[in-house]
Amino acid sequence: MATFQFDHETMPTPEEFAQLLRVSDEQYDPVEELLSLERELADFEQKHNLSSPEFYRQYQDGQIGDAVEFVSWAGRYKLYLSLKQAISDSLKLVLTERNLASM
């Protein structure tokens, strides 16, 4: 997912900003985003010697603190699960449409 950073001197006009958003939207690749999230999760897992599902269970149960790193890990894991589900749902829809078209 694209990120933009502006300061007082580099602030785009509304039209320039809208164009940046359009280009970003056109270039967005959900599979690449999923892979990027997987790499980030793997880094957390290696650092803490804990799988993301197990971390998240403990986090939800209040067994792990709310340090910024843990909040970030939990947020990325939730985003990962959501994106993975969205991709899966899209693939199922495509396959269903193909099956219906071949009948």
What residue spans define the domains of the chain?
29-101
- Above 70 in pLDDT, residue 4? yes
In contact, 80 and 37? CB cutoff 8 Å: yes
Q: At what angle do helices 68-101 and 52-60 cross, to 10 degrees?
A: 120
Rounded-to-integer distance, Cα 13 and Cα 93, Å: 39
pLDDT tens string 39-61: 999 999 999 999 999 999 999 99
Question: What CA dihedral angle connects 17, 20, 26 and 29, to 10 degrees?
Answer: -110
pTM: 0.72
